[in-house]
Amino acid sequence: LIRTAIVGASGYSGAELLRFLSQRADVAVEKVIASSSAGKKVAELYPAMSRDVEAEYEEFEPESLDGLDVVFVALPSGEGMKAVPQLVHHVDHVIDLGGDFRLKSSALYEEFYGHKHTAAGLLCEAVYGLPELSTPAICAARLVANPGCYATSALLALLPALSHGVVEPHGIVINSLSGVSGAGRSSAVELSFAEVNENVRAYKVGNHQHIPEIQSTLEQSAGEKVSLSFVPHLIPITRGIYTTIHCNLRMKTTASDVLQLYTSYYASAPFVRIKKDIPQIRNVVNTNYCDIGLVIQERTQQLIIMSVIDNLIKGAAGQAIQNMNIMLGLPEESGLKR
Amino acid sequence: LIRTAIVGASGYSGAELLRFLSQRADVAVEKVIASSSAGKKVAELYPAMSRDVEAEYEEFEPESLDGLDVVFVALPSGEGMKAVPQLVHHVDHVIDLGGDFRLKSSALYEEFYGHKHTAAGLLCEAVYGLPELSTPAICAARLVANPGCYATSALLALLPALSHGVVEPHGIVINSLSGVSGAGRSSAVELSFAEVNENVRAYKVGNHQHIPEIQSTLEQSAGEKVSLSFVPHLIPITRGIYTTIHCNLRMKTTASDVLQLYTSYYASAPFVRIKKDIPQIRNVVNTNYCDIGLVIQERTQQLIIMSVIDNLIKGAAGQAIQNMNIMLGLPEESGLKR
Amino acid sequence: LIRTAIVGASGYSGAELLRFLSQRADVAVEKVIASSSAGKKVAELYPAMSRDVEAEYEEFEPESLDGLDVVFVALPSGEGMKAVPQLVHHVDHVIDLGGDFRLKSSALYEEFYGHKHTAAGLLCEAVYGLPELSTPAICAARLVANPGCYATSALLALLPALSHGVVEPHGIVINSLSGVSGAGRSSAVELSFAEVNENVRAYKVGNHQHIPEIQSTLEQSAGEKVSLSFVPHLIPITRGIYTTIHCNLRMKTTASDVLQLYTSYYASAPFVRIKKDIPQIRNVVNTNYCDIGLVIQERTQQLIIMSVIDNLIKGAAGQAIQNMNIMLGLPEESGLKR
Amino acid sequence: LIRTAIVGASGYSGAELLRFLSQRADVAVEKVIASSSAGKKVAELYPAMSRDVEAEYEEFEPESLDGLDVVFVALPSGEGMKAVPQLVHHVDHVIDLGGDFRLKSSALYEEFYGHKHTAAGLLCEAVYGLPELSTPAICAARLVANPGCYATSALLALLPALSHGVVEPHGIVINSLSGVSGAGRSSAVELSFAEVNENVRAYKVGNHQHIPEIQSTLEQSAGEKVSLSFVPHLIPITRGIYTTIHCNLRMKTTASDVLQLYTSYYASAPFVRIKKDIPQIRNVVNTNYCDIGLVIQERTQQLIIMSVIDNLIKGAAGQAIQNMNIMLGLPEESGLKR
């Protein structure tokens, strides 16, 4: 039995982790931690889980997690870097779903996150947990930084083309649309139904904190400098991310060559589906899949890539479990396909 | 030129009042009052009005409103009863969109609103401003209490049948569905998009504060005791109320008789449309109309009435302007039909 | 291995059946039948299932189903009664998700469905498959008529109170709100997004075809005549039914007594949850649960019952699988809880 | 009194034209033409207009329109080119809301629209009716081709920067999100609520028919070749377009310089608002405004432009009325601001 805990279990990602993990016969969630809701039953905040999940939220006491196999940290950025250092020496594996351990440079972190990094000593060790890119490193990791939701959709879309030199590393334009659950369980007026419904707005134009993790991961993979623009938009859906990417072809190529490249790049990836037509969010909602569609636009010599994920699953909790599976040597799909 | 002010102008009803009034050539909105946003431009909170509305929110200083023709009070219940007494002696007409002056009995008020009434002396004078019911009283009023949104939809649906003895005054069942703007501009988690979208929930079952104003207005009109049940539901739309009512027929009647009764009852009401088929919210959104549909159900000897309004217009700001028009002797439709 | 087939697999209920069944190790879906899409892959119509479901739609040829353990029929009413008679003698168990075998009286069928019943000979044998009501009969059945979605939500809400004489059998008022998937995979203009979004409309007021199955099931259970009114409404959500019921108390009772009655009535029902507060659709979407909330309204001596289900799961495919489990002697939850 | 008619009045754009025009005291809509609905009252299809619009749909008989001041043609592309030649000699002004007269080259038309142009002789005369670009030509025109909705949002966003040489004419990337009403009043399954809700999909990637009108208008304005990519997406809202554009700066510039350029470019445009922050669809819905936001992204030396319109108003009916106002020498805002 795999003994786990979730720190920060009252947010949407934490709840989704709990929902997935509690359905597994081979996993026990021994602690469900959320200081703000300590003493409440999970089913009070998430009545959907009543009868299925009996657990109660508890305070964070690192020593109480001693000896667990895996601890998931689903805290806001800035909070994760306080909790993780208290955990890494006491539990076998830590998977952080926040942004605090995704970058190697604390300077870059501070630029995009707007506050100092107080656990920079762990940045080097942390493994960026995009399973389709770096399974072996995840296998060996003690601390995995689960990728951002936008980053997941952009990276899975770009890695094959960029790592194979099919597209230019400069001038990449990434537009993403996200459902509101991506903003977390929030009481901000601007996330109220009356403000979000029948509306769209871009936000953090040019300075979203997922930019550096996209860029540095691409650069590592491409072996050269990458420059890109990323504009996220909030749209009136609950779950899902739609990412549309324009990049310039570096070489003459055909639709079928690109399709072939992507298909073979992801041949052993159980959760990436290369589509022959345009992907749609509805096909991946409530799954750990990422669907990718590809269009060669002759007129502008560009490759247009569209990718879709469920932001709370492949973009957060599902990917974290996929990482856990890899870290523990289990089949990658365990508990992620019904 | 009609000189007006809006007290509590930063909420949805206040903003809607401002939007309607600022389009009229015969009306000037001289003060736009919202203490919480004092100093900000209206267009900062409501960018939709930029270029069209230049006004700035100001603090509430009753004396600054001295001599105005009409002051609209769009404050939450409990706040209105503080502001209104400071206004009635200084301005010609006060229209309160909140719930503080809709009931004649302060005891009933305290039962349903949960706090003491501190301006009970004005309850007697205040005229319940449902124009289709009591135009003459509104004409003569200094203080009008604008009906609640649910109450408007229920009363317009029930008044003809009940006042003509077509249905029993007992056993009336009112189910209403409301868009989220009815809850006001709010930062409550339970009104966030992620919680409201793809969801429905009933609330305040059996104790909603609109119950007493529906009941007492019906009793006055029917001339006998009325008993009713009212269950409001929150549904994922921004604007609109759908009310479905069951009541028991007191006499044999036919669909065409009932249709005829309603049509003639509202023959001179510019904003009530009696439909031959089932009403739909979309037909009244952004208008001051109330659409009403009628079905005689032989099997149970019941009259089923459906009515729809835009909660922010016929259910709030539009009706308030209709009341103003009546109070000032203007055509009832002024500024309410494009 | 349980050998099954789905006839009418291209609609939403059929697709949902396929999604659930294809995840079970103990079930094989051997035929996926949809004449209108014969020759196409399931994943063409439902790309969400690509990679997970390889099946192809086939023509309906009853003999090809010979010897199967269970055949699900998910055809529109009027079509089911053509297919079912061709199946009952060749397969062990037939579960019809349509309305054709839910009533005992062909006259009643013809009144509400508007066409003749051409397989009235099977009406007597067919078992109305509401598992919480009649597990033993389902156990022994060869042909199960899966209840309607509205009927499921109304019956589960009313059965305990009515069968125990807590409420009057007359004057029951049922209001239901349904998501659009309840209307099936449709190209009607009035189900287009632009018409449904930000809208509500009642429909089939007083003559919906689920009325007779609700009424007759209640009468059997109450042992007396029942009269009720039922008004369904279409609201802009994809999945889910919210049912709010008013009924008159027959005896003095308390909230806690009623809560106790319902809790004990459903003590062994794995998919009914009696709530202490108001139920919400979001808590049951994507599950086979029915959540029920109860309010005693002293003022009118009424019991107000609210129930919620996912119309495609507890209201269709999930309940059909629950019935299959019972018919085959499997645990009722098999394949229905992740 | 301005005597008008609408040909193709049963679609959303036609209905919106009718709604706007019927509110004007200076305009009479003498014929409301829609062959598919001939004989029906407008209020049957659009109950929202009942009481306000009494008109009845009629068959298209060009001679019956003889002598009118303005005829609006709101037919699908391919139909407009049949009707317009029958009108131009008989009425003073024709405004075509479809795509048939927006391009100067019939070859280009055939490439993007997929069928032959049968009235190519009128292409030269037709004036592309983007009022902010070409008021004088519109003034003098007999036939105005109303711009496409996407084209309107993209052109208003790009014209200032491109015509002033601030950005490169190559490598422009345009991503647009559209509400579903843009697809017209449709019964396609893929536009049904159950398919569109909680979903996003790109479509016509790289070959949308608005590409050539955007490109050729920009080229005329820039005085040089332009190359661009355009990807439209369907999102679950009823009305509105959100367009996000990336283009490469040609010269060093600052945010305030660009803001200044746009503000002065549109100084006399009553319906374009240059915003200091990020535009949102909700601020323009139900108005004829186009809101534009501008971000200079130093890191990539790009200008990111966001523009929003209501696709049925500034993107169709509102702009057509704006064009009518200009053609007739009326104030541009007549009937377009409440």
Within 8 A by CB and 6+ apart from D139, the residues are: D326, D327, D329
Q: Cα–Cα distance between A155 and B295 in angstroms, integer? A: 58
- Burial-class residue B255 by CB neighbours within 10 Å (0-12, 13-18, 19+): middle
For residue B192, the SS3 value is strand
What mean pLDDT value characterizes chain B? 96
Q: What whole-number percentage of chain A has pLDDT above 90?
A: 96
A304 touches chain D (CB under 8 A): yes
Beta strands (DSSP E) in C48-126 are 57-58, 70-73, 93-96
Chains A–D, number of C-beta pairs less than 8 Å apart:
136
Write the pLDDT tens digit of every residue in B58-86: 999 999 999 999 999 999 999 999 999 99
Q: How sure is the predictor about C186, in pLDDT bands with cuts at 50, 70 and 90? A: confident
C171 touches chain B (CB under 8 A): yes
DSSP state letters, A92-123: SEEEE-SSTTS-S-HHHHHHHHSS--S-GGGT
Residue of D nearest to B285 (CA): D48
**Do A7 and A60 meet the contact criterion of CB atoms below 8 Å apart?**
yes
**Residue contact A202–D278, C-beta within 8 A:** yes
Beta strand D143-145 with B70-73 is unpaired
Residues in chain C: 338
Q: How far is D264 from chain A (nearest CA, A)?
A: 24
Q: Cα–Cα distance between C278 and B330 in angstroms, integer? A: 46
Radius of gyration of the CA atoms of chain D, in A: 19
**Residue contact D285–A205, C-beta within 8 A:** no
Q: Cα–Cα distance between D97 and C186 in angstroms, integer? A: 29
**Residue whose C-alpha is closest to residue B230's, from B242, B250, B245:** B245
B127: pLDDT strictly greater than 90? yes
- Burial-class residue D302 by CB neighbours within 10 Å (0-12, 13-18, 19+): buried
- For an interface test with B, the pick among A46, A193, A281 (most B C-beta atoms closer than 10 Å) comes out as A193
Chains with at least 3 CB pairs less than 8 angstroms from chain A:
B, C, D
Please tell me which of the candidates D52, D280, D284 has its beta carbon nearest to residue B337.
D52
Q: How far is A180 from chain B (nearest CA, A)?
A: 6
**Residue whose C-alpha is closest to residue C60's, from C8, C118, C2:** C8
For residue C263, the SS3 value is helix
Write the pLDDT tens digit of every residue in C127-155: 999 999 988 999 999 999 999 999 999 99
DSSP code for C314: I
ipTM of the complex: 0.96
A198 touches chain C (CB under 8 A): yes
Question: What stretch of H or E contains B292?
Answer: strand B290-297
Write the pLDDT tens digit of every residue in B201-237: 999 999 999 999 999 999 999 999 999 999 999 999 9
CB atoms within 10 A of CB C287: 22
**Residue whose C-alpha is closest to residue C206's, from B166, B298, B174:** B298
**For residue A187, what pLDDT is reported?**
84
**For residue D184, what pLDDT is reported?**
87
**For residue A184, what pLDDT is reported?**
87
Residues in A closer than 8 angstroms to D153, CB to CB, are: none
CB atoms within 10 A of CB D123: 20
**Residue contact C283–A337, C-beta within 8 A:** no
Write the pLDDT tens digit of every residue in A41-60: 999 999 999 999 999 999 99
Sequence letter at residue A65? L
Q: Cα–Cα distance between A218 and A222 in angstroms, integer? A: 6
**Residue contact D337–B52, C-beta within 8 A:** yes
B275 touches chain C (CB under 8 A): no
C313: pLDDT strictly greater than 70? yes
Q: Cα–Cα distance between D215 and B281 in angstroms, integer? A: 41
Residues in C closer than 8 angstroms to D281, CB to CB, are: none
D273 touches chain B (CB under 8 A): yes
Q: Which of residues 199-258 of B touch C (CB under 8 A)?
A: 199-203, 205-206, 227-229, 231, 233, 235-240, 242, 244, 246, 248
Q: Report, as an integer, the average pLDDT of A67-84.
A: 96
Q: Report, as an integer, the average pLDDT of B289-293.
A: 98
**For residue C195, what pLDDT is reported?**
95
Write the pLDDT tens digit of every residue in C241-285: 999 999 999 989 999 999 999 999 999 999 999 999 999 999 999
Please tell me which of the candidates D203, D236, D308 has its beta carbon nearest to residue A237.
D236
User: Model-level pTM?
Assistant: 0.97
**For residue B323, what pLDDT is reported?**
98
Residues in B closer than 8 angstroms to A46, CB to CB, are: none
Token readout for C166 is 């807590």
Write the pLDDT tens digit of every residue in B23-58: 999 999 999 999 999 999 999 999 999 999 999 999
Q: Report, as an integer, the average pLDDT of C170-183.
A: 96
DSSP state letters, D200-220: -EE-STTT-TTHHHHHHHHHH
What mean pLDDT value characterizes chain A? 96
Q: How sure is the predictor about A245, in pLDDT bands with cuts at 50, 70 and 90? A: very high
Active site residue B247: no
Write the pLDDT tens digit of every residue in A13-46: 999 999 999 999 999 999 999 999 999 999 999 9
- The backbone region for B13, taken as left when phi is positive above 0, alpha when psi lies in -120 to 50, beta otherwise, is alpha
Q: Cα–Cα distance between C328 and A315 in angstroms, integer? A: 39
Q: How sure is the predictor about C338, in pLDDT bands with cuts at 50, 70 and 90? A: low
Q: How sure is the predictor about B338, in pLDDT bands with cuts at 50, 70 and 90? A: low
Measured in whole angstroms, the distance separating CA D9 from the mean position of its chain's CA atoms is: 16
Please tell me which of the candidates B47, B273, B338 has its beta carbon nearest to residue D50.
B273
Residue B86 phi, psi dihedral angles, 5° rounding: -80, -10
Q: How sure is the predictor about C337, in pLDDT bands with cuts at 50, 70 and 90? A: confident
A191 touches chain B (CB under 8 A): yes
Q: What Å distances lie between residue D109 and D85, D114, D119, D144, CA to CA?
A: 17, 8, 11, 17
Within 8 A by CB and 6+ apart from D62, the residues are: D83, D86, D87, D90
Q: Report, as an integer, the average pLDDT of A305-311.
A: 98
A338: pLDDT strictly greater than 70? no
Token readout for A261 is 């490249």
Q: Report, as an integer, the average pLDDT of C66-73.
A: 97
- Burial-class residue D235 by CB neighbours within 10 Å (0-12, 13-18, 19+): buried
Token readout for D103 is 């391009």
Beta strands (DSSP E) in chain C are 2-7, 27-33, 57-58, 70-73, 93-96, 127-128, 143-145, 172-178, 201-202, 228-234, 241-248, 272-274, 290-297, 302-309
Q: Cα–Cα distance between C338 and A82 in angstroms, integer? A: 34
Residues in A closer than 8 angstroms to C23, CB to CB, are: 337-338
Token readout for A326 is 């890899």
Per-residue pLDDT of chain D (338 residues; tens, 9 = 90+): 999 999 999 999 999 999 999 999 999 999 999 999 999 999 999 999 999 999 999 999 999 999 999 999 999 999 999 999 999 989 999 999 999 999 999 999 999 999 999 999 999 999 999 999 988 999 999 999 999 999 999 999 999 999 999 999 999 999 999 999 998 888 899 999 999 999 999 999 999 999 999 999 999 999 999 999 999 999 999 999 999 999 999 989 999 999 999 999 999 999 999 999 999 999 999 999 999 999 999 999 999 999 999 999 999 999 999 999 999 999 999 999 86
Measured in whole angstroms, the distance separating CA A24 from the mean position of its chain's CA atoms is: 21
Please tell me which of the candidates C179, C192, C238 has its beta carbon nearest to residue D191.
C192
Please tell me which of the candidates C205, C279, C304 has its beta carbon nearest to residue B231.
C304
**Residue contact A240–D177, C-beta within 8 A:** no
Within 8 A by CB and 6+ apart from C273, the residues are: A50, A51, C289, C290, C291, C292
Token readout for C328 is 């085959």
